[in-house]
């Protein structure tokens, strides 16, 4: 397609959101670089990936809570991505290391369903755990944290040497 060719000529990558297997085939044939958040249409209905939905909900709550609670937006972003997207991969890598060591020692072979199932379980467990934690914090502590964040802290020198009010006597 002309649009994709123009983008590639300018050095840009093309990402699309598609629905259904036919849409995926069309996009790949047209020369796109990446497919994003694709619900699958099968048997006349849309089937979403449960892991994707759990990640999206957890990212929403954790990102919102850390965005309010953190003083640095970059820190809030990295903490959110680390907890929801990176931690399951790290836990899965440790699990796979354990499985590999166990299989070498005991002549055991884990099937692909067990391997993918464990990644799904780890991912959904971290999504539920951190998502509920962040939701509870948003509900119970939002006003306090938001008020503290936006209160004037005064200048650096006032905080360093004090405002002088504590030295007044009556």
Residue 75, token pair as written in the block:
């820190």
Answer positive or negative: Cα dihedral of 120, 121, 123, 127.
positive
Q: What does the pLDDT average to over 19-26?
A: 70
What residue has token string 């959904």?
Answer: 124
**Burial letters 129-146, b for 16+ CB under 10 A, else e:** ebbeebbebbeeeeeebe
Q: State the burial class of residue 123 (Cβ atoms within 10 Å of its Cβ: 0-12, 13-18, 19+).
A: buried
pLDDT of residue 163: 60
Task: Find out whether 27 and 20 touch, Cβ atoms under 8 Å.
Answer: no
Q: How far apart are CA 66 and CA 58, in angstroms?
A: 12
* Per-residue pLDDT tens digits for 60-118: 999 999 998 887 889 999 999 999 989 998 998 898 888 888 777 776 666 767 777 88
Model confidence at 29, pLDDT cuts 50, 70, 90, reads confident
Higher pLDDT, 131 or 110: 131
Residue 134, token pair as written in the block:
């962040």
Task: Find out whether 45 and 63 touch, Cβ atoms under 8 Å.
Answer: no
pLDDT of residue 63: 93
Q: How far apart are CA 110 and CA 114, in angstroms?
A: 6
């Amino acid at each position: 397609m002309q649009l994709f060719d123009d983008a590639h000529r300018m050095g840009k990558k093309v990402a699309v959101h598609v629905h259904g297997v036919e849409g995926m085939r069309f996009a790949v044939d047209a020369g796109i670089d990446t497919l994003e958040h694709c619900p699958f249409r099968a048997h006349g209905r849309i089937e979403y990936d449960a892991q994707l939905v759990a990640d999206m909900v957890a990212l929403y709550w954790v990102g919102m809570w850390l965005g309010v609670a953190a003083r640095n937006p970059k820190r809030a972003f990295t903490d959110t991505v680390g907890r929801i997207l990176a931690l399951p991969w790290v836990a899965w890598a440790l699990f796979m290391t354990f499985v590999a060591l166990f299989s070498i020692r005991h002549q055991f072979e884990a099937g692909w369903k067990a391997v993918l199932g464990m990644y799904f379980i780890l991912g959904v467990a971290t999504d539920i755990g951190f998502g509920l934690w962040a939701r509870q914090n948003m509900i119970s502590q939002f006003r306090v944290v938001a008020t503290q964040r936006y209160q004037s802290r005064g200048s650096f020198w006032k905080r360093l040497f004090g405002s002088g009010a504590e030295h007044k006597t009556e």
